[in-house]
Amino acid sequence: MTRLGKAVVVALAVLATVAIAGLLVDRGAGPSWLDPTGCTAEVDGRVVELSLEQAENASLITAVSIQRGLPARAATIALATAYQESKVLNIGHGDRDSLGLFQQRPSQGWGTEEEILDPVYSTNAFYDALVKVPNYRELEITEAAQEVQRSAYPDAYAEHEEDARVLASALTGNHRAAFWCTTDGDADEASDRLDEAGLVRRASVVRSDLEARFGSLSLGGFQPGGVSSGHMAGSAHYEGRAIDVFFRPINDVNKQRGWAIASYLVAQADRLAINTVIFDDRIWHAGSRSDDGWTDYRVPSSSRGDRKILEHRDHVHVDVAD
C-alpha cells in the first residue's frame, strides 16, 4: 500500500472512532471522559450516576409521586421499574408494542402511543396501577413492580432496588443536598423582555414547569413591571431572571419539600437553562462550577437583614441564564 493509501486508511479509522464515540455518548453508553456532563445521587455512601436525560426522567418520576402525595417508596418502585424496563429513558420502541419509560403497551390498555411516550402521562399511569395494589407499601419492591408490570422477568426489578432507593431518597428531599449535576452551562441567547408577571421567558418557563410538576406553590421574587428593591445588589431578581419558592415555617417537613424542589431544578437545569439554585445555605452553579455539587452559600458580609432569609433557609432561589 502506498504512503498516501495508508494515510487515508488511518484518517478513516480516526473518523470512524470519533463517530462511534459520539454515538455512544448520544446513547448514554460512552465512558465519562467522552461526555463529562451527568448527575450524581449519594446517600449513606452509595453513589448512583445518571446521564442528564436519565436524571430529567428520574426527577420527573419522583416529582409526580410528590404531587400525588405518595410515599417515597412509591417513587422507589417506579424508579426500579423504569431502570429495568428502559434504563430510565423515554424510548420509542421495545418488545412487541412496548414503549416509553415503563415499556407500557397500547394493546394492553395503557394508552395510545402518543400518550405513553408522554413521560408525565406514563408515570401517572404507572402510579394509577400501583396504588390499586393492596399493601404495596409493605410488599417487596420487586413484587410490587411485578403486580403492575406483569413482566416475563419478575425478579429483574430487584437488581435495581438499591439504586432506586438512593435516587428516591435524594430526589424526595429525605436526604438533603444529596443530588447534583454537572452541566456545560451553555444556553442560546434569550430575550430580556419581561412578561406581564415581570419575568423573562426562560424564568416564566421555569415557573410554569414547577407549577405543572408540583401543583400550587408559594412563589415570589417577581412582580408586574419587574422588581427594583428588596434583594442584594446584582441580584438576578432585578432582571426578571429569578424566582423564589417559599417554604414557611422553617421545619423538617418544609425542608424536605424544599430539597425535593431544589433537586428537581438541578436535574432539569440543562433543559430549562437554569443558572443557579440556592436553598438552606447551600448553592449549586451550572457550568464550570457545577461539578463542585452543592457548596456552602456565603452571604456577603455587607448584607443586612434576617439571616434566615439571606441564607435562603425558608425558600428555594432559582435563576436562569441571561
CB atoms within 10 A of CB 314: 20
Report the C-alpha gap between 298 and 71 in whole angstroms.
Answer: 34
Q: What is the structure's pLDDT at 1?
A: 53
Task: Indicate the residue type of 173.
Answer: G
Place of cell 432559582: 318
What distance separates the 2 farthest-apart alpha carbons in the chain?
78
Q: What is the structure's pLDDT at 155?
A: 80
Q: What is the structure's pLDDT at 8?
A: 46
pTM more than 0.85: yes
Q: What is the structure's pLDDT at 9?
A: 46
Would you write out the chain's pLDDT as a tens digit for each of its 322 residues?
555 455 444 445 545 444 444 444 444 444 455 678 999 999 999 999 999 999 999 999 999 999 999 999 999 999 999 999 999 999 998 788 999 999 999 999 999 999 999 999 999 999 999 999 999 999 999 999 999 988 766 688 899 999 999 999 999 999 999 999 999 988 888 888 999 999 999 999 999 999 999 999 999 999 999 999 989 888 999 999 999 999 999 999 999 999 999 999 999 999 999 999 999 999 999 998 998 999 999 887 767 678 888 899 999 999 999 8
- Which of 9, 29, 7, 11 lies closest to 20, judged by CA? 29
Q: What is the structure's pLDDT at 185?
A: 86
SS percent in the chain: helix, strand, coil, step 5: 45, 15, 40
- Which of 93, 28, 29, 25 lies closest to 57, judged by CA? 28
CATH code 3.40.50 for 38-175: no
Q: What is the structure's pLDDT at 141?
A: 93
Report the C-alpha gap between 136 and 139 in whole angstroms.
Answer: 5
What sign for the dihedral angle of Cα 106, 111, 112, 116?
negative
Q: What is the structure's pLDDT at 191?
A: 82
DSSP state at residue 314: S
Q: What is the structure's pLDDT at 162?
A: 97
Report the C-alpha gap between 51 and 58 in whole angstroms.
Answer: 10
- Which of 36, 1, 31, 37 lies closest to 17, judged by CA? 31
Q: What is the structure's pLDDT at 43?
A: 98
Sequence spans of domains, the chain: 38-175, 188-320
Q: What is the structure's pLDDT at 300?
A: 78
